[in-house]
Amino acid sequence: MSIVADPLVPSGPEAEATTRARRSRAGEGGRRWLPAVYLTAPMLVLIVLFLIPMLILFLISIGLGIANQDNVWTFDHYTELFHDPLYWHVAKTTVIIATSAMVAQLVVGVPLAYVMAFKAGKWELPMVLGLVVLDGLNPVVRIYAWRILLGRNGIINGSLEWAGIIDKPIDALLFNNFAVIVVLSTSWITYTVIPIYASMKAIDANLFQAAADLGAGWWTIMRRILLPLSAPGIFVAILLVYIPLFTDFATPTMVGGTSGYMLGQAVQDLILTRGDLAGGAALSFVLLIASGVVAAVAYRLSRISRLES
Amino acid sequence: MSHRLRLGDALALALVAVVLVVLIGPIALLTAFSFNDSTIISLPFEGFTLDWYKMALEDQGVRDSLRYSVIVAAIVAPSCVVLGTAAAWGITRFRFRGRGFWAGLLGAVLVVPWLVIGVSGLVFFVYLDVELSLKTIILMHIAVTFPLVTALVSARLVRFERSQEEAAIDLGASQWQLMTRIVLPQLTPALAASLIFAFAWSFNNFEISFFNGGYEETFPVWVFSDLRRSYNLPIVNAIATLVSAVQVLAVYGLYLLIKWLGKRRGSGDELTSLVAGGRV
């Protein structure tokens, strides 16, 4: 996953410069086949390994393709999902966990980005670098580390038992929704903080002084200046983080309990445990559409807030 | 005012401290207990040992998974740098029919969850009757990773000083000369970062490897599966520490390399500015 702020969309004066240069150079006078030299290979990869698999995923979810001699298409796999109260329950749990983790990250991430951008001084670069290094660590190893810390035979339980504070391990530390929310939040915090931090770096710090001179209080400055101006970064963070949060299955499998069963695990169980390729494909497709909606909303919001700011 | 400022500073410090503890604490403890001479991962410390490291490095499962992950990443990373850079150049420097569609498709790969891409890859290979193996992992890793390189490189390209490029074209440079003499040298820091990150993204990738892998377990899949074999947890601690240490050193080395390249070329490129889209 990238930590680039708003990757493919140049903004502000940069965008104008891009457009101008493109117009003056390659566009009009340029040789028309030239883009194909650069783009053929990457686009073939996207068509063969992204678009076609997605198409096949859809075909299988409507009952075509594998193990179907009749070639009759059906929405049964979708209606089954929607009529099964289990999936509604799992969807509810997933939304609650993912949203809590997103909110938790924003509650920590926005102040952290602010501290990095305006207060950290010589610690600013080490902090950014620290976040990048942290993200370079293996996510499964990071989840595993939490399990070692909080698990039934983990460091906390074992140490408390050794110290004679408890007689038997406390199970409540792990295998609950709270543990999943904490671990998910720590897994994705880099992608939350960096875009917000990048958008805050673009704010002229004199604005804060000017507002203070004009009598604005701390809360007014935050609400009327900092938040609106960093809103594009916040929406990019939501775009990058919220979607993976509600499709995650490694975290709930490793540190979650039975009550925190999430949609990602349901997909995995349908396909790998029950061998129900069509059902798994249907559920994946529902997740894909949900992601698309989240992405479109976050993207729109980030564009709108940029225009306003 | 000064009182309030001091309160604000204290809050900021507390926030940073809590974040540090929560983010680094578990990994630090994992590291500490990987040296503990006990099969039980808890206090008391029974003494310092390197036995777990020795056992981990001799363990066939560990060795195989690390070898598979390195092979996969070593093929995926350079492929992604080539594909990603070509796509970035094509998208940022040309206007052509369908440009918006292709840019959107590249962006779509970044927001579609890896779980869904993993499942789609699985049904794709099942449909084509292709046996799952390291090859299928490599193919899917390339597909999900090169758009990230495109994002990284195009963020750099849109901030380029264009005068050299334009001068080269006006003076009749061929595309090849333009690339090898002007563009790629200026892109070196971004390309170095892309190579290291693409390697890390592939090495760390769990979802895609999980759904598109065959019998060969890559390292993250091995750690995940090892939950069921909980008797050798100290070994997992040791190898997890070792891999994490290498990863920290790799990113820090990259940081120093880019700083050095920036100083030599006077461009002032920083790793931190590359990842934050140049606004840092």
Is B11 a residue whose pLDDT tops 70? yes
Whether chain B has a CB inside 8 Å of the CB on A30: the answer is yes
Mean pLDDT on B157-173: 82
Find the range with the poorest average confidence among B77-86, B168-177, B191-200, B247-256: B168-177
Identify the band that residue A168 occupies on the pLDDT scale cut at 50, 70 and 90.
Answer: confident
Nearest CA of chain A to the CA of B22: how many Å? Answer: 7
Q: Which residues lie across from B48 on neighbouring strands?
A: B36
More confident residue, B29 or A308: B29
**pLDDT value, residue B5:** 58
| CB distance A200 to A120 below 8 Å | no
For A:99-138, CB contacts with B below 8 A are: 108, 111-112, 115, 119, 125, 127-129, 132-134, 136-138
Whether chain B has a CB inside 8 Å of the CB on A20: the answer is no
**pLDDT value, residue A74:** 78
Whether chain A has a CB inside 8 Å of the CB on B87: the answer is yes
The half-sphere exposure of B6 on its side-chain side, counting CA atoms within 13 A, is 3
| CB distance B109 to B144 below 8 Å | yes
Number of helices and strands in chain A (H, E): 15, 0
For B:143-202, CB contacts with A below 8 A are: 143, 146-148, 150-152, 154-155, 158-159, 162, 165-166, 169, 175, 197, 200-201
Question: How confident is the model over A206-231, as pLDDT tens digits?
Answer: 888 888 888 888 788 888 888 888 88
Interface probe with B: pick from A58, A119, A142, A148, most Cβ of B within 10 Å = A148
Check B27 against A142: CB less than 8 A apart: yes
| CB distance B187 to B156 below 8 Å | yes
State the architecture of B61-275 in CATH terms: Orthogonal Bundle (1.10)
Is B58 a residue whose pLDDT tops 80? yes
Q: Please give the residue of chain A at the shortest CA–CA distance from B233.
A: A148
**pLDDT value, residue A41:** 93
**pLDDT value, residue A188:** 92
Identify the band that residue B83 occupies on the pLDDT scale cut at 50, 70 and 90.
Answer: very high
Check A141 against B223: CB less than 8 A apart: yes
Q: Name B239's Cβ contacts closer than 8 Å, sequence gap at least 6.
A: B53, B56, B57, B59, B62, B66
Residue entry with tokens 């503890």: B21
Q: Name A130's Cβ contacts closer than 8 Å, sequence gap at least 6.
A: none
Mean pLDDT on A266-274: 89
Nearest CA of chain A to the CA of B232: how many Å? Answer: 12
**pLDDT value, residue B4:** 54
Q: What is the CA radius of gyration of chain B?
A: 23
Residue of B4, B33, B121 lying closest to A53 (CB–CB) = B121
Nearest CA of chain A to the CA of B17: how many Å? Answer: 11
Mean pLDDT on A273-291: 89
Is B276 a residue whose pLDDT tops 70? no
Q: Name A187's Cβ contacts closer than 8 Å, sequence gap at least 6.
A: A139, A142, A143, A251
Residues of chain B with pLDDT > 70: what percent?
Answer: 93
> Residue B69 and residue B134: Cα distance in Å, rounded?
9
Number of helices and strands in chain B (H, E): 13, 0
Domain limits, chain B? 61-275
Mean pLDDT on B2-22: 79
| CB distance A262 to A90 below 8 Å | yes
The DSSP 8-state label assigned to residue B48 in this structure reads: B
Identify the band that residue B172 occupies on the pLDDT scale cut at 50, 70 and 90.
Answer: confident
**pLDDT value, residue A6:** 44
Find the range with the poorest average confidence among A132-136, A153-157, B165-169, B245-249: A153-157
Mean pLDDT on A162-187: 83
Q: What ipTM is given for this predicted complex?
A: 0.86
Most confident option among A70-74, A157-161, B52-56:
B52-56
Nearest CA of chain B to the CA of A180: how many Å? Answer: 14
Check A148 against B91: CB less than 8 A apart: no
**pLDDT value, residue A173:** 75
Check B248 against A137: CB less than 8 A apart: yes
Residue of A4, A7, A134 lying closest to B23 (CB–CB) = A134
More confident residue, A99 or B233: A99
Looking at beta carbons, which residues of chain A come within 8 Å of B86?
Answer: 38-39, 41-42
Delineate the domains of chain A, giving CATH numbers in brackets. Answer: 77-308 (1.10.3720.10)
| CB distance B236 to B30 below 8 Å | no
Is A148 a residue whose pLDDT tops 50? yes
Is A253 a residue whose pLDDT tops 70? yes
| CB distance A184 to A97 below 8 Å | yes
Is A285 a residue whose pLDDT tops 60? yes
* Mean pLDDT for chain A overall: 82
Question: How confident is the model over A18-48, as pLDDT tens digits?
Answer: 544 444 444 444 567 788 888 889 999 999 9
Q: Give me the total of CB pairs closer than 8 Å, taking one residue from chain A and one from chain B.
A: 331
Cα-based distances in Å from B96 to A37, B241, B255: 13, 49, 36
Residue of A14, A37, A38 lying closest to B158 (CB–CB) = A14
For A:278-297, CB contacts with B below 8 A are: 280-281, 284-285, 287-288, 291-292, 295
> Residue A175 and residue A181: Cα distance in Å, rounded?
11
Whether chain A has a CB inside 8 Å of the CB on B19: the answer is yes
Looking at beta carbons, which residues of chain B come within 8 Å of A140?
Answer: 204, 206, 220, 223-224
Whether chain A has a CB inside 8 Å of the CB on B139: the answer is yes
Nearest CA of chain A to the CA of B26: how many Å? Answer: 5
Q: What is the dihedral of CA A149, A150, A156, A161, to 10 degrees?
A: -130
Task: Look up the pTM and report it.
Answer: 0.86
Whether chain A has a CB inside 8 Å of the CB on B142: the answer is yes
**What spatial distance separates the first Cα and last Cα of chain B, rounded to whole Å?**
29
**Token representation of residue B150:** 């495109």
Identify the band that residue A306 occupies on the pLDDT scale cut at 50, 70 and 90.
Answer: low
Q: Is A117 helix (H, G, I), strand (E, B) or coil?
A: helix
Residues of chain B with pLDDT > 90: what percent?
Answer: 34
Q: Which residues lie across from B36 on neighbouring strands?
A: B48
Looking at beta carbons, which residues of chain B come within 8 Å of A288?
Answer: 112-113, 116
